[in-house]
Amino acid sequence: MCSVVVVDDGSTFKHVFKLMCEALSIIYWCLSRGNHRGNSVERYHRFLNKTQAIAGNDRGTHQVYIQNAQTSQYAWNSAPVDNTDIIRSMVAVGRAFRFPLDVSLSPSPILNTASNSTLFNYLRDVSTDAKFSLSILQILIEKRRSTHRERQNKGEIFV
- DSSP assignment string, 17-73: HHHHHHHHT-EEEEPPTT--TT-HHHHHHHHHHHHHHHHHHHHTSSTTHHHHHHHHH
- Whether the predicted pLDDT of 17 surpasses 70: yes
Nearest C-alpha neighbor of 32 from the set 155, 141, 154, 156:
141
pTM: 0.48
Q: Is the sign of the CA dihedral 156, 4, 93, 104 positive or negative?
A: negative
The pLDDT, as a whole number, for residue 50 is: 92
- Whether the predicted pLDDT of 125 surpasses 70: no
CA 41 to chain centre: 8
Count of residues for the chain?
A: 159
- Whether the predicted pLDDT of 80 surpasses 60: yes
The pLDDT, as a whole number, for residue 54 is: 92
The pLDDT, as a whole number, for residue 129 is: 62
SS3 116: coil
Residue type, 29: W
More confident residue, 141 or 18: 18
Nearest C-alpha neighbor of 139 from the set 150, 147, 151:
147
Which band of pLDDT confidence, cut at 50, 70 and 90, is reported for residue 89?
confident
pLDDT in tens, 34-68: 665 556 667 777 888 899 999 989 988 888 888 88
CA distance 66 to 55: 11
